[in-house]
């Protein structure tokens, strides 16, 4: 829709701090058809006011122009992606969130639509450079977490928070051995076969609870707690 604004009296002057300002008070948006229909509205209003400002634009086009980032902003988004991806591996969601957060800090009063475009441009650039790959991210992070004694359940929850799709998470977890991960967790905490002294019932309960809180099932937790040292060490040996 095209529209015009009829403005009232012009107010201008200096404020108490010595800053000059002026204001045209908009009275009413008037359809362009009415202004050109011969009703005499324009001529009548021109006689009664100090100014007439007519703005003709399309609503959708104006909104699109206001939210479309400049080439310089898009270049910033690509540079931001390159900087972040050079430092560490990131998922699509992580990069989008990081660039969005920085864009809101860098550009004052930036529109949400503009932030979204910049974040998408950062991801597009990362994918073009081969630095954004959620499947590779899930594979690397799941294997690293398993080596640190994380359970399949805990790894799945972490990947989901990073925005990794369920299918990619399932594929990545196929190579994760929960038994081996539980033994590694026990070694880090000094549980089960890695205790320095005999455990009483209170200590056994504590170990079982700790394993359960970290995503290991009760049956597996009990197996690890009761496992002898030789079996645990055999499991930890690298495959031939």
211, 144: one domain? yes
Query: What pLDDT, in 10s, does the model give residues 157-173?
Result: 999 999 999 999 999 99
Query: Which of 132, 147, 172 is a domain's end point?
Result: 132
20, 110: one domain? no
pLDDT at 173: 97
147, 122: one domain? no
Contact 224, 183 (CB under 8 A): yes
Query: What pLDDT, in 10s, does the model give residues 60-76?
Result: 544 555 789 999 999 99
Domain count, the chain: 3
What is the residue whose two structure tokens read 């073009």? 128
175, 196: one domain? yes
Q: CA 102: distance to chain centroid?
A: 11
Residue 108 falls inside a structural domain: yes
pLDDT at 36: 39
Least confident of 33-42, 213-222, 225-234: 33-42
| Mean pLDDT, residues 98-108 taken together | 96
Contact 119, 100 (CB under 8 A): yes
Contact 118, 133 (CB under 8 A): no
Residue 221 falls inside a structural domain: yes
Residue 122 sits in which domain range?
69-132
Model confidence at 240, pLDDT cuts 50, 70, 90, reads: low
Q: Is the pLDDT of residue 35 over 50?
A: no
pLDDT at 1: 40
Q: Is the pLDDT of residue 236 over 70?
A: yes
35, 90: one domain? no
Query: What pLDDT, in 10s, does the model give residues 178-220?
Result: 999 999 999 999 999 999 888 899 999 999 999 999 999 999 9
Residue 57: closest CA among 138, 133, 1: 1
């Amino acid at each position: 829709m095209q529209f015009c604004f009829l403005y009232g009296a012009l107010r201008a002057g200096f404020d108490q701090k010595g800053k000059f300002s002026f204001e045209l008070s908009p009275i009413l948006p008037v359809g362009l058809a009415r202004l050109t229909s011969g009703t005499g509205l324009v001529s009548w209003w021109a006689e009664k006011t100090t100014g007439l400002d007519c703005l003709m634009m399309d609503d959708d086009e104006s909104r699109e122009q206001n939210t479309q980032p400049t080439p310089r902003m898009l270049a910033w988004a690509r540079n931001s992606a390159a900087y972040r991806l050079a430092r560490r591996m990131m998922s699509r969601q992580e990069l989008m969130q990081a660039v969005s957060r920085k864009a809101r800090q860098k550009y004052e009063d930036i529109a949400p639509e503009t932030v979204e475009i910049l974040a998408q441009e950062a991801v597009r650039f990362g994918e073009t450079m081969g630095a954004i790959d959620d499947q590779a991210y899930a594979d690397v992070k799941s294997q690293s977490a398993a080596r640190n004694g994380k359970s399949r359940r805990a790894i799945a929850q972490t990947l989901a928070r990073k925005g990794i799709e369920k299918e990619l998470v399932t594929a990545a977890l196929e190579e994760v051995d929960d038994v081996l991960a539980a033994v590694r967790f026990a070694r880090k905490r000094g549980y089960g076969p890695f205790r320095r002294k005999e455990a009483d019932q209170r200590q056994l309960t504590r170990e079982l609870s700790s394993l359960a809180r970290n995503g290991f099932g009760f049956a597996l937790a009990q197996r690890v707690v009761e496992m002898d040292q030789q079996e645990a060490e055999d499991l930890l040996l690298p495959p031939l």
